[in-house]
Structure 1
Amino acid sequence: MEKLTNQRCVPCEGGIPPMTKEEAEEYLSQVPSWRIVDDEGILKLNKTFKFNNFRESWQFFDRIAELAESEGHHPDISVHYNRVIVTLFTYAIKGLFLNDFIMAAKIEEILKELQKGHR
Protein backbone atom coordinates (compact mmCIF):
# COMPACT_ATOMS: atom_id res chain seq x y z
CA MET A 1 0.00 0.00 0.00
CA GLU A 2 1.50 3.32 -1.09
CA LYS A 3 2.12 5.87 1.66
CA LEU A 4 -0.90 8.18 1.87
CA THR A 5 1.12 11.39 2.10
CA ASN A 6 2.71 10.57 -1.28
CA GLN A 7 -0.69 10.51 -2.99
CA ARG A 8 -2.96 13.30 -4.24
CA CYS A 9 -6.72 13.49 -3.94
CA VAL A 10 -8.58 12.69 -7.15
CA PRO A 11 -12.02 14.06 -7.99
CA CYS A 12 -14.86 11.80 -6.93
CA GLU A 13 -18.04 12.54 -8.85
CA GLY A 14 -19.99 9.71 -7.29
CA GLY A 15 -21.26 6.58 -8.97
CA ILE A 16 -19.04 4.32 -6.87
CA PRO A 17 -19.81 2.74 -3.53
CA PRO A 18 -18.18 4.15 -0.39
CA MET A 19 -15.63 2.02 1.46
CA THR A 20 -16.93 -0.66 3.76
CA LYS A 21 -15.87 -0.44 7.40
CA GLU A 22 -13.41 -3.29 6.79
CA GLU A 23 -11.82 -1.48 3.82
CA ALA A 24 -11.61 1.74 5.82
CA GLU A 25 -9.94 -0.03 8.75
CA GLU A 26 -7.12 -1.15 6.43
CA TYR A 27 -6.27 2.49 5.66
CA LEU A 28 -6.79 3.51 9.28
CA SER A 29 -3.48 1.78 10.10
CA GLN A 30 -1.73 4.72 8.36
CA VAL A 31 -3.64 7.30 10.45
CA PRO A 32 -4.16 5.40 13.72
CA SER A 33 -5.00 8.44 15.85
CA TRP A 34 -8.13 9.04 13.77
CA ARG A 35 -11.33 7.13 14.35
CA ILE A 36 -14.07 5.87 12.10
CA VAL A 37 -17.50 7.01 13.21
CA ASP A 38 -20.89 5.94 11.94
CA ASP A 39 -23.05 9.04 11.53
CA GLU A 40 -26.54 7.75 10.79
CA GLY A 41 -25.23 5.11 8.39
CA ILE A 42 -22.49 7.30 6.84
CA LEU A 43 -18.93 6.33 7.79
CA LYS A 44 -16.67 9.29 8.50
CA LEU A 45 -13.15 9.91 9.80
CA ASN A 46 -12.94 12.11 12.87
CA LYS A 47 -10.29 13.54 15.15
CA THR A 48 -10.08 16.25 17.80
CA PHE A 49 -6.80 18.16 17.98
CA LYS A 50 -5.86 20.08 21.13
CA PHE A 51 -3.72 23.22 21.28
CA ASN A 52 -2.52 25.70 23.88
CA ASN A 53 -4.71 28.58 22.75
CA PHE A 54 -6.99 29.98 20.08
CA ARG A 55 -4.13 31.37 17.98
CA GLU A 56 -2.56 27.91 17.59
CA SER A 57 -5.97 26.40 16.82
CA TRP A 58 -6.61 29.01 14.14
CA GLN A 59 -3.14 28.60 12.65
CA PHE A 60 -3.85 24.87 12.30
CA PHE A 61 -7.26 25.60 10.75
CA ASP A 62 -5.63 27.94 8.20
CA ARG A 63 -3.12 25.29 7.17
CA ILE A 64 -5.87 22.68 6.76
CA ALA A 65 -7.85 25.15 4.63
CA GLU A 66 -4.83 25.68 2.35
CA LEU A 67 -4.38 21.92 2.04
CA ALA A 68 -8.07 21.41 1.28
CA GLU A 69 -7.95 23.96 -1.53
CA SER A 70 -4.80 22.46 -3.05
CA GLU A 71 -6.20 18.91 -2.88
CA GLY A 72 -9.74 19.84 -3.90
CA HIS A 73 -11.13 17.90 -0.93
CA HIS A 74 -12.75 19.82 1.91
CA PRO A 75 -13.27 18.55 5.46
CA ASP A 76 -15.79 19.73 8.01
CA ILE A 77 -13.85 21.73 10.61
CA SER A 78 -14.95 23.20 13.94
CA VAL A 79 -12.70 25.49 15.97
CA HIS A 80 -13.37 25.76 19.71
CA TYR A 81 -10.80 27.93 21.49
CA ASN A 82 -8.01 25.34 21.96
CA ARG A 83 -9.57 22.46 20.01
CA VAL A 84 -10.03 21.77 16.33
CA ILE A 85 -12.42 19.01 15.34
CA VAL A 86 -11.93 17.63 11.83
CA THR A 87 -14.39 15.32 10.09
CA LEU A 88 -13.65 13.81 6.70
CA PHE A 89 -15.92 11.98 4.31
CA THR A 90 -16.80 12.22 0.65
CA TYR A 91 -20.12 13.94 0.07
CA ALA A 92 -20.55 12.61 -3.49
CA ILE A 93 -20.71 8.99 -2.28
CA LYS A 94 -21.97 9.61 1.27
CA GLY A 95 -19.09 7.77 2.89
CA LEU A 96 -15.37 7.18 2.93
CA PHE A 97 -13.10 7.26 -0.11
CA LEU A 98 -9.30 7.13 -0.44
CA ASN A 99 -9.20 10.96 -0.51
CA ASP A 100 -10.38 11.09 3.10
CA PHE A 101 -7.42 9.05 4.27
CA ILE A 102 -4.99 11.04 2.12
CA MET A 103 -6.27 14.23 3.75
CA ALA A 104 -6.05 12.73 7.25
CA ALA A 105 -2.43 11.72 6.67
CA LYS A 106 -1.53 15.15 5.29
CA ILE A 107 -3.27 16.87 8.21
CA GLU A 108 -1.08 14.80 10.54
CA GLU A 109 1.96 16.12 8.65
CA ILE A 110 0.75 19.70 9.17
CA LEU A 111 0.41 19.00 12.90
CA LYS A 112 3.98 17.68 13.07
CA GLU A 113 5.29 20.78 11.25
CA LEU A 114 3.43 23.13 13.60
CA GLN A 115 4.61 21.25 16.68
CA LYS A 116 8.23 21.58 15.54
CA GLY A 117 7.72 25.32 15.18
CA HIS A 118 6.33 25.67 18.72
CA ARG A 119 9.27 24.02 20.50
Structure 2
Amino acid sequence: MTEGLASKSCTPCRGEIPPHPREQAESLSRTGPRMAEEAHRIDRSFRFRKFREALTFVQEIGELAEAEGHHPNISFRWGYSAVSLQTKKIKGLHENDFIMATKIDRVFARGAPA
Protein backbone atom coordinates (compact mmCIF):
# COMPACT_ATOMS: atom_id res chain seq x y z
CA MET A 1 0.00 0.00 0.00
CA THR A 2 2.82 2.43 0.69
CA GLU A 3 3.99 2.02 -2.93
CA GLY A 4 0.57 3.20 -4.07
CA LEU A 5 0.56 6.17 -1.69
CA ALA A 6 4.10 7.17 -2.66
CA SER A 7 3.13 7.35 -6.33
CA LYS A 8 0.14 9.61 -5.70
CA SER A 9 0.07 13.39 -5.48
CA CYS A 10 -1.89 15.40 -2.96
CA THR A 11 -5.14 16.89 -4.20
CA PRO A 12 -6.59 20.22 -3.06
CA CYS A 13 -8.92 19.85 -0.09
CA ARG A 14 -11.55 22.57 0.13
CA GLY A 15 -13.03 21.45 3.42
CA GLU A 16 -16.37 20.21 2.15
CA ILE A 17 -15.46 16.57 2.65
CA PRO A 18 -15.51 14.78 5.99
CA PRO A 19 -12.30 13.39 7.50
CA HIS A 20 -11.58 9.72 6.96
CA PRO A 21 -13.68 7.58 9.29
CA ARG A 22 -11.57 5.99 12.01
CA GLU A 23 -11.82 2.54 10.38
CA GLN A 24 -10.52 3.82 7.04
CA ALA A 25 -7.72 5.77 8.72
CA GLU A 26 -6.78 2.67 10.74
CA SER A 27 -6.70 0.59 7.55
CA LEU A 28 -4.32 3.07 5.89
CA SER A 29 -2.30 3.25 9.08
CA ARG A 30 -1.83 -0.53 9.20
CA THR A 31 -0.17 -0.56 5.78
CA GLY A 32 1.55 2.82 5.92
CA PRO A 33 2.30 5.68 8.29
CA ARG A 34 1.02 5.35 11.84
CA MET A 35 -1.56 7.78 13.12
CA ALA A 36 -1.96 9.24 16.59
CA GLU A 37 -4.29 7.45 18.98
CA GLU A 38 -7.00 10.08 18.52
CA ALA A 39 -7.11 9.17 14.79
CA HIS A 40 -7.17 12.80 13.71
CA ARG A 41 -3.48 13.28 12.89
CA ILE A 42 -0.29 11.43 12.02
CA ASP A 43 2.69 12.06 14.30
CA ARG A 44 6.22 10.94 13.48
CA SER A 45 9.59 11.57 15.04
CA PHE A 46 12.98 11.10 13.44
CA ARG A 47 16.48 10.86 14.99
CA PHE A 48 19.71 12.18 13.53
CA ARG A 49 23.36 12.16 14.55
CA LYS A 50 23.95 15.83 13.78
CA PHE A 51 22.08 19.12 13.73
CA ARG A 52 22.88 19.59 10.03
CA GLU A 53 21.20 16.26 9.20
CA ALA A 54 18.00 17.31 10.97
CA LEU A 55 18.09 20.70 9.26
CA THR A 56 18.59 19.15 5.81
CA PHE A 57 15.72 16.73 6.46
CA VAL A 58 13.40 19.60 7.46
CA GLN A 59 14.41 21.56 4.36
CA GLU A 60 13.65 18.55 2.15
CA ILE A 61 10.23 18.17 3.78
CA GLY A 62 9.61 21.86 3.15
CA GLU A 63 10.40 21.45 -0.55
CA LEU A 64 8.17 18.37 -0.73
CA ALA A 65 5.33 20.19 1.05
CA GLU A 66 5.53 23.10 -1.38
CA ALA A 67 5.51 20.74 -4.37
CA GLU A 68 2.53 18.79 -3.01
CA GLY A 69 0.62 21.79 -1.67
CA HIS A 70 0.15 20.02 1.67
CA HIS A 71 2.07 21.35 4.66
CA PRO A 72 2.84 19.47 7.89
CA ASN A 73 3.69 20.97 11.25
CA ILE A 74 7.43 20.49 11.73
CA SER A 75 9.70 21.04 14.70
CA PHE A 76 13.35 20.16 15.05
CA ARG A 77 16.40 20.52 17.23
CA TRP A 78 19.82 18.94 17.42
CA GLY A 79 19.45 15.28 16.45
CA TYR A 80 15.66 15.25 16.25
CA SER A 81 12.70 16.25 14.10
CA ALA A 82 8.98 15.83 14.73
CA VAL A 83 6.36 15.97 11.99
CA SER A 84 2.60 16.14 12.46
CA LEU A 85 0.11 15.85 9.62
CA GLN A 86 -3.55 16.75 9.66
CA THR A 87 -5.81 18.36 7.09
CA LYS A 88 -6.75 21.48 8.99
CA LYS A 89 -9.74 22.36 6.80
CA ILE A 90 -11.50 19.16 7.85
CA LYS A 91 -9.89 18.85 11.31
CA GLY A 92 -8.91 15.28 10.62
CA LEU A 93 -7.15 12.88 8.29
CA HIS A 94 -7.45 12.93 4.52
CA GLU A 95 -5.66 10.69 2.04
CA ASN A 96 -3.24 13.62 1.49
CA ASP A 97 -1.92 13.15 5.03
CA PHE A 98 -1.07 9.51 4.35
CA ILE A 99 0.50 10.40 0.99
CA MET A 100 2.71 13.03 2.61
CA ALA A 101 3.62 10.79 5.55
CA THR A 102 4.68 8.03 3.16
CA LYS A 103 6.78 10.46 1.12
CA ILE A 104 8.35 11.92 4.28
CA ASP A 105 9.25 8.39 5.44
CA ARG A 106 10.99 7.88 2.09
CA VAL A 107 12.94 11.13 2.43
CA PHE A 108 14.16 9.89 5.82
CA ALA A 109 14.97 6.40 4.50
CA ARG A 110 17.08 7.86 1.67
CA GLY A 111 19.36 9.65 4.09
CA ALA A 112 18.64 8.06 7.43
CA PRO A 113 21.85 8.39 9.41
CA ALA A 114 20.64 7.28 12.82
Q: What's the TM-score, normalizing by structure 2?
A: 0.91
- 8 Å CA contact 1:4–1:30 kept in 2: the answer is no
Instruction: Quote the residue 2:99 is aligned against.
Output: 102
Task: Give the unaligned 5+ runs of structure 1.
Answer: none
* 1:74-119 CA-partner distances (Å, limit 9, x unpaired): 000010211100000001101000000000000011111113xx5x
Q: Distance in 2 between matches of 1:16 and 1:65?
A: 26
Shift of 1:35: 3.1
Structure 2 SS opposite 1:74:
coil
Question: When you count strand as a share of all residues, which structure comes out higher?
Answer: 1
* 1:34-91 CA-partner distances (Å, limit 9, x unpaired): 33242xxx71000110111211100100000000000000000010211100000001
Q: Distance in 2 between matches of 1:75 and 1:87?
A: 6
Q: Percent identity?
A: 42
**Structure-to-structure mapping, 1:77-92, within 5 angstroms:** 77-92=74-89
RMSD: 1.8
Q: Distance in 1 between matches of 2:10 and 2:31?
A: 16
Task: Give the unaligned 5+ runs of structure 2.
Answer: none
Kindly indicate whether residue 41 of structure 2 is the aligned counterpart of residue 53 of structure 1. Answer: no
Number of equivalenced pairs: 113
Q: What's the TM-score, normalizing by structure 1?
A: 0.87
